[in-house]
């Protein structure tokens, strides 16, 4: 009996790979589920396809399925994907390296705000170098679909006094074309205008300010 697990639009990839001497156009791919241990349900450029381990469709090869993991290969480069993880990017071996820099202009009040994504869901960030980790209100966490109630329960000091909170790990924080994985975060009661982009994210970067522009560059 086949064991079928379907997760709609859980995982997206922007893929680039070689075809003869010319690179393929980007392919939008989603892992939509797994059928047993030998096949995956993929949506490639809007077309649903069942791909067996070892087979390739439109330059996307399914190398292996292991529990909730899928390994794909595009243009000689492999990447491990997790069911439920945020969209990932796989580039062919001859592709240029992914972007490593984020630039943000100063906004009103001298603050730096920017739109980005947490686990593939859009949100608004406010840079806060005084915050130990990324801080998210419970209201925003629920909008983002974060299962924070499964996190570690703690208490934290806020402007409103000591409040209960939850420590969690974000699979992905993405701003522009730059993505950072496995980022610590804290979810606190109430509502905030932005997600606070704290040092659990910022410490992955070299930070500099020139005039009214803040630039973050990924550390090697």
- For the domain that residue 197 is a member of, what is the CATH number? 2.40.70.10
Residues 129 and 199 in one domain: yes
Do 109 and 162 lie in a common domain?
A: yes
Contact 203, 195 (CB under 8 A): no
Residue 118, domain extent: 101-218
* Residue 170 predicted with pLDDT over 90: yes
Q: Based on the domain organization, do 85 and 161 belong to the same domain?
A: no
Model confidence over 91-147: pLDDT tens digits? 555 555 566 889 999 988 899 999 999 998 999 999 999 999 999 999 999 999 999
Question: Has residue 96 been placed in a domain?
Answer: no
Single out the residue in 91, 112, 137 at which a domain terminates.
91
- 144 domain residue, yes or no: yes
Residue-level pLDDT at 114: 92
Tell me how far CA of residue 60 lies from CA of 24, 33, 53, 65, 126, in angstroms: 11, 16, 11, 14, 37
- Whether 88 and 81 have beta carbons less than 8 Å apart is answered as yes
Structure tokens at 200: 């659990």
Grade residue 45 by pLDDT with cuts at 50, 70 and 90: low
Confidence of residue 9 (pLDDT cuts 50, 70, 90): very low
- pTM of the predicted structure, to 2 decimals: 0.58
**pLDDT tens for each residue of 50-90:** 888 888 887 788 888 877 777 777 777 776 766 655 445 55
């Amino acid at each position: 009996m086949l064991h079928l697990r379907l997760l709609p639009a859980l995982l997206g990839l922007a893929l680039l790979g070689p075809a003869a001497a010319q690179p393929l156009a980007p392919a939008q791919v989603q892992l939509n589920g797994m059928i047993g241990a030998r096949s995956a349900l993929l949506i490639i450029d809007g077309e649903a396809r069942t791909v067996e381990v070892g087979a390739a469709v439109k330059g996307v090869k399914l190398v292996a399925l292991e529990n909730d993991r899928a390994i794909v290969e595009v243009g000689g480069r492999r990447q491990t994907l997790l069911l439920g993880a945020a969209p990932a990017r796989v580039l062919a071996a001859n592709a240029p390296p992914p972007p490593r820099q984020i630039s943000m202009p100063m906004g009103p009040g001298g603050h730096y705000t920017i739109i980005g994504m947490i686990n593939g869901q859009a949100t608004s960030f406010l840079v806060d170098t005084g915050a130990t980790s990324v801080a998210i209100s419970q209201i925003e966490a629920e909008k983002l679909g974060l299962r924070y109630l499964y996190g570690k329960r703690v208490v934290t000091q806020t402007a409103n006094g000591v409040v209960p909170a939850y420590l969690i790990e974000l699979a992905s924080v993405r701003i522009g074309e730059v993505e950072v994985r496995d980022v610590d975060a804290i979810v606190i009661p109430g509502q905030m205008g932005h997600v606070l982009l704290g040092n659990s994210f910022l410490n992955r970067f070299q930070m500099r300010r020139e005039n009214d522009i803040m630039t973050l560059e990924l550390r090697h």
